[in-house]
A and B are shown apart, each in its own frame.
Chain A
Amino acid sequence: MQAQTWFGYIWELLPGVVTALELTGIALALGYPLALLMALLINSAPRPIAWLSIAFVEVGRGIPLLVLLYIFYQGLPQIDIIPSAMNAAITAFTWSTAGYATEIIRSSLQSVPNGQLEAASSVGLSDSDRFRFVILPQAARIAIPPLMGLAIIMFQLTSLAYVIAVSEVMQAAYFLGTKTFNYLPVFLAAAAVYAAITIPASALVTSIERRLARHV
């Protein structure tokens, strides 16, 4: 196969990449703060609210993203709510992101050594000050690498939005395939595009992980 055709394919896929990045970006921008909220609610809120938060998280994590996508795109119309493909995708991805991110955040909050909590208390810091100045900064350092890893995974998962007709990479690939009657090279090009973004991103996360570990 000629290099030119390859580049041609990849060129056609690029708008899909942009959409995929947009979708990922929005899901993270909404999902991560939501996850922090959930983590705090699960840890500190009164029982009923904590239970609701746990339910929210478990559903986001326990149901395959594909099924969540279908629920919002094909399920809601049953009760007369008809979201656009992108909106359905954003909702599903945000829920899923929040689900996984909550676990990461909770785990990082727990990883802050007990001695730190005691030192902060013994020096008179209020609970909120203790959280803001001692727990959160240390937990953040622990949580950042896994959260970045999650972001990469979410980017890869945008491929699923294909099934509800979001114009991301796979959708673009599919159309390209129908035009050229050559699915194999087109899908290979799609694979290459994902790999080209994922591999450097993962390497970046690893180096950040190493640098964070050195500081603390």
Chain B
Amino acid sequence: MSETSAPYLSAKNITKDFGETRVLDDVSMGINSGDVISIVGPSGAGKSTFLRCINLLETPTSGLLEIGDFKISIGPGHKSATKKELSTLRRNVGMVFQSFNLFPHLTVMENISLAQKRVLGRNDDEAKERAMTLLDRVGLRDKADQYPGRCSGGQQQRVAIARSLSLDPKVMLFDEPTSALDPEVGAEILSVMKELANEGMTMMVVTHEMGFAREVADTVHVMVDGRVVESGNPEKIMNDPEHPRTRKFLGAVLGR
């Protein structure tokens, strides 16, 4: 595993309320550079919400976020993040969504080039070159000029991964990337993610795919009802869970 100095990314005491309901209750997680974290748990546990707090798509009610040199305290009394801070944050933290969210009115190539040009200031040629490299990596070079509407779900998700990688992020967040796909197609996506992990990408993955968690993740966090109930390495969690909720969840998921 990687050197355990200060974690590259650390979220501390993240709490999120939606009106009266507390969706995230004092969640803390850290990840070292090059590590892969898998977040699992029943639906409604707040896993996706937590992930989206990391790149501030959701603003926590309170908490502390540290990513590399970027540090922000959130909550009453603190200023909200400036546009510049948000931009820097999202340049370094990429996200892949369950529903792909490709821009339907742009070609695959344009989808991958847009952010490079507007956010990183790369010129058209650089952006296209990088896009092509990434498309090669996910095996979709020939789809460059197609519109997302003409691509299958699996292809769209691969384009989405390429799009997030185009900014050369330091951390990648995956929010149930295979839940909207057939199992076979999902497996392809998972193998792309495995390759990414092997190349040293720092990844936080919310997923139901326990196989992925076991094979690729360095740490598994189990979330239930907005809290982390158990954390540890995948082998231990799955074979010898301590917390009753973890056992219950795993029983349902693995006992199929």
Q: Do B103 and A125 touch (CB < 8 A)?
A: no
Residues in A neighbouring B104, C-beta threshold 8 A: 138, 216
Q: Which residues of A from 144 to 186 have beta carbons under 8 Å from B?
A: none
Find A122's partner among B83, B90, B102, B149 (CB 8 Å cutoff): B90
Which residues of chain A come closer than 8 Å to B83, judged between CB atoms?
126-127
As a 0/1 sequence over residues 138 to 174 of chain B, the CB contacts with chain A under 8 angstroms (1 = contact) are: 0000000001010000000000100110010000000
Contact with B along A111-124 (1 / 0, CB 8 A): 00101101111111
Taking a contact as CB atoms under 8 Å apart, the answer to whether B163 and A118 are in contact is no
Total A-B residue contacts, Cβ distance less than 8 Å: 67
In the bound assembly, the distance between CA atoms of A141 and B106 in angstroms comes to 13
- Is the pair B105, A141 in contact by a Cβ cutoff of 8 Å? yes
Is B101 touching A116 in the complex (CB atoms < 8 A)?
A: yes
- Please determine whether A122 and B105 come into contact, CB atoms closer than 8 angstroms: no
Does any Cβ of B come within 8 Å of A51's Cβ? no
Known contacts A122-B90, A123-B119: A137-B99 contact under CB 8 Å: no
Interface residues in chain B, defined as those with a beta carbon under 8 Å from any beta carbon in chain A: 55, 57, 83, 86-87, 90-91, 94-95, 97, 99, 101-105, 114-115, 118-119, 147, 149, 160, 163-164, 167
25 A-B contacts, Cβ less than 8 Å apart? A115-B97, A115-B99, A116-B101, A116-B103, A118-B97, A119-B95, A119-B101, A119-B103, A122-B57, A122-B94, A122-B164, A123-B163, A124-B87, A124-B119, A125-B114, A126-B87, A126-B118, A126-B119, A127-B83, A134-B103, A137-B105, A138-B104, A138-B105, A216-B104, A216-B105
